[in-house]
Structure 1
């Protein structure tokens, strides 16, 4: 079983427009409403792949209840930690050419008791899990160390821990020594404090992060695939994705594919890239099922350190 924790989940509404024009009135196509948040998406993708997963999340108001309903409809087991404030709602606008703009609310501020309940439930479930995944933005006013606390809780319970976060939260989590981090290119650049223009730059930073105590680094590179750096080596994988319909959740699908395929080595990297490529071809933040994932289309290469990443999507 894989347990995901999403400290700041959301209801995600996705609308389609021909082009997003500031100040204009837009006529939109059919809208989608999906349960959102990085950990939520990982649990959805794992469930779609047939891997047992449980999504742990704070839940409040009608939005929280609706999120639980949507996850139940997808067959995702949910453990709700009740909170006083309402779960946030986000809006994603996708243009005809695939350009995606997100409008994210900050989310509710958790009380000390609510944060403790979330951590306690995560630790309880981690004791029976292979992996604990702590993902996404942090609740308003939470500081920077919630992911780090979840790393320590998961490791203390005997589970391996993966973190997909950004900014100070990712920095703090790395200091707690997770088994895996899954940043995108921008997030890794922020962690390094410098731009990463070539694949060799990404490899260098991932190697530094591993030397500081993180066991495995999986970096999603948008159209340039993904880079895996671990104890047994480093590999780069790419795939030619279908037409891009939405990039929302593609990195979450990639992390789910990686964990579902064992969480180590080139075969897991291939699965990660295949899941991410399948996700960008789906509307909204839908997660791909096995019939949509084409691992045969993924190529795993030796790392070409000179490869330019200019224009790489997150």
Structure 2
């Protein structure tokens, strides 16, 4: 583990405060927009164009995984190219090469070199995902939650997919769900696994499983996190769920329950995994090799367990909610019946 300090790579430990894991804020916060105007943060000058932008990702990383799902769902594979780092992160941080790919845009060997191309004096963590602008030779953004919103809407001219995963009328509810899930689940597994004191571990552990219990209850009465419409909130959660039983239960000591022990959450996970194209974005080999092989403070031997082998392709019953919606709609009186009553 390490980071860049004024452009120089330095080894350091995972950051904690009073034993509690502290996730550093992402730094590059510009936006690609349809017309190149400035987004919610940063400056303008990044118009959506086919072939102009490149994603740097890790198949192991849940944050990067979000962007690969959106790239697939929005049919942007021909518009946005991608390079994949190798799963094992050691003294030099993320590096390119098998079983990942080469850096096909800048020809670098380490992801840190990409950051230095954007800012030779950069200070901070070298994280994925990274959205790179080939034309301006710089990083546009390295915040996954913002990149998926760009992929959702900015590149509409280059795809025939018109599904909106962040519809205006649902944004308030989506944002509220995202806040809960990010703090206690997405980042909660890291707060649990990287805790440096018993108190910090138990605090994060209880928040994690209290939230999973609440999500299990929520999903008992609706197919997705925001009613029966698939939104970005679901894709933000699912990349943590897909790693949970294989990694977080054992490696991060998140072992009160497995996802398979929650009937609604496990069915929901299988439902999303089975959305066309999503299964191809899941790489359990990269996931397990990264966590068990890279975090030597947690797993000093680097031994990667052979199990478990989750069956995300197994049948689920989440389609029952669509049937319920159809039944409710057919039972409602028509407009003429309403007027006659």
Q: Same fold (TM over 0.5)?
A: no
Q: Structure 1 length as normaliser, TM-score?
A: 0.33
Larger relative strand fraction: 1
Q: Structure 2 length as normaliser, TM-score?
A: 0.31
